């Protein structure tokens, strides 16, 4: 899916006027403020450490073509191609967030962190003013790593975890995550194999639990077995349910269809229903966050 949300707007401003260096949030003062429920939504980062400036976009910006005129990959990406996000683009975007989007209550992180359909191939659009933005939390819906589509340089499980760690470090460095709650979700390109995730304990979920530990998330049994969890943003008033829609993908061959009783998708849907009923009885609001369904 195309990353057409706030992160793309941030990237545009970063290219226009921001220094491509992500500094620590400790480097500048931030006014204390009351809780307003404003949040930052970041999606589909698809960072690609193997991106090569001056390479051929038809080779996914990983290699140089013999024909010099084909080598058009820029410093900040190759718009309109299948290339993913180079590190300078990601750093510039986080630099903009650091400068202009500190006063949020939480962060939502969705989409994909790995290669493919990344910031570098999106259509930029502005949906919010660039100044005086107050954010209380951030939601980050997945898809962090690059897409595994280069047969010459196939993506490895080590690459996936490295991409996740890189993005975690960017968020941790640029936001006071003790104050601003960071809430991620898995994308269909965040697994070791594209679109493929089994139900039950597995190395990917174990490693993500360790990587996301600094954010103090409620990663209990449901995350250990299925990659989904609930997170209180404002206890008694607002909760986020972070889903794992990988169990609803027709392309996921590791689980049964979600309409079958006892399947991974069915178990998750029953869990969601139970949490929504609990929220209704408790009179608090719930945000459902996910990547997408088939």
Write the CA distances from 118 to 4, 77, 90, 153, 289, integer angstroms. 10, 9, 10, 18, 19
Secondary structure (3-state) at 222: helix
DSSP string spanning 161-186? Answer: HHHHHHHHHHHHHHS-TTTSEEEE--
* 10-14, 74-78, 229-233, 279-283: least confidently modelled range: 10-14
Yes or no: say if 190 and 160 are a contact pair by the CB < 8 Å rule. Answer: yes
Reported as a single tens digit per residue, the pLDDT across 98-155 is 999 988 889 988 765 554 444 443 333 323 333 333 344 555 556 788 888 999 999 9
What residues form DSSP beta bridges with 181? Answer: 106, 137
Q: What is the pLDDT of residue 33?
A: 55
- Could you tell me which of 176, 282, 191 has the C-alpha nearest to residue 238? 282
Yes or no: say if 144 and 113 are a contact pair by the CB < 8 Å rule. Answer: yes
Reported as a single tens digit per residue, the pLDDT across 155-200 is 999 999 999 999 999 999 999 988 889 999 998 888 889 899 999 9
Write the CA distances from 277 to 15, 56, 231, 271, 289, integer angstroms. 45, 52, 16, 10, 17
* 9-13, 26-30, 62-66, 253-257: least confidently modelled range: 9-13
Q: Which of 22-36, 113-127, 269-283 has the highest mean pLDDT?
A: 269-283
In sign, the C-alpha dihedral spanning 93, 95, 98, 101 is negative
Q: Break the chain into its structural domains and give their ranges.
A: 6-220
CA distance 261 to 256: 9
Q: b/e for 153-164, b at 16 or more Cβ within 10 A?
A: bebeeebbbebb
Secondary structure (3-state) at 238: strand
DSSP string spanning 5-37? Answer: SHHHHHHHHHHHH--S----GGGS---------
Q: What percent of the chain has pLDDT over 90?
A: 60
- Could you tell me which of 176, 170, 238, 246 has the C-alpha nearest to residue 205? 246
Q: H or E stretch including 39?
A: strand 39-43
**How big, in percent rounded to 5, are the helix, strand and coil portions of the chain?**
35, 15, 50
Q: How many CA atoms lie within 13 A of 273 on its CB side?
A: 6
CA distance 147 to 114: 5
Q: What is the pLDDT of residue 262?
A: 96
Say whether pLDDT at 263 is over 90. Answer: yes
């Amino acid at each position: 899916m195309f990353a057409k949300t706030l992160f793309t707007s941030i990237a545009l401003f970063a290219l226009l006027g921001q220094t491509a260096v992500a500094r620590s949030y400790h480097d500048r003062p931030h006014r204390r403020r009351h809780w307003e429920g404003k949040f930052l939504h970041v999606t589909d980062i698809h960072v690609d450490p193997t991106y090569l400036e001056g390479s051929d976009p038809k080779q996914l910006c990983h290699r140089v073509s013999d024909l010099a005129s084909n080598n058009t990959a820029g410093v900040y990406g190759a718009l309109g191609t299948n290339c993913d996000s180079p590190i300078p683009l990601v750093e510039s975007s986080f630099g903009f967030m650091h400068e202009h989007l500190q006063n949020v209550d939480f962060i939502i992180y969705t989409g994909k962190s790995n290669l493919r359909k990344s910031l570098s191939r999106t259509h930029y659009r502005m949906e919010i003013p660039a100044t005086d933005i107050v954010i209380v939390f951030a939601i980050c819906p997945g898809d962090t790593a690059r897409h595994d589509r280069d047969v010459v340089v196939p993506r490895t499980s080590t690459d996936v975890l490295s991409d996740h760690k890189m993005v975690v470090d960017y968020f941790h460095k640029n936001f006071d995550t003790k104050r601003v709650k960071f809430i991620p979700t898995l994308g269909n390109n965040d697994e070791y194999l594209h679109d493929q995730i089994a139900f039950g304990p597995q190395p990917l979920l174990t490693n993500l639990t360790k990587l996301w530990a600094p954010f103090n998330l409620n990663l209990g049994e449901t995350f250990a077995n299925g990659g989904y969890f609930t997170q209180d943003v404002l206890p008694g008033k607002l909760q986020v349910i972070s889903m794992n829609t990988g169990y609803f993908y027709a392309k996921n061959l590791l689980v049964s269809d979600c309409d079958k009783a006892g399947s991974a998708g069915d178990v998750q849907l029953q869990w969601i229903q139970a949490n929504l009923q609990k929220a209704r009885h408790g009179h608090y609001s719930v945000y459902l966050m996910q990547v997408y369904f088939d």
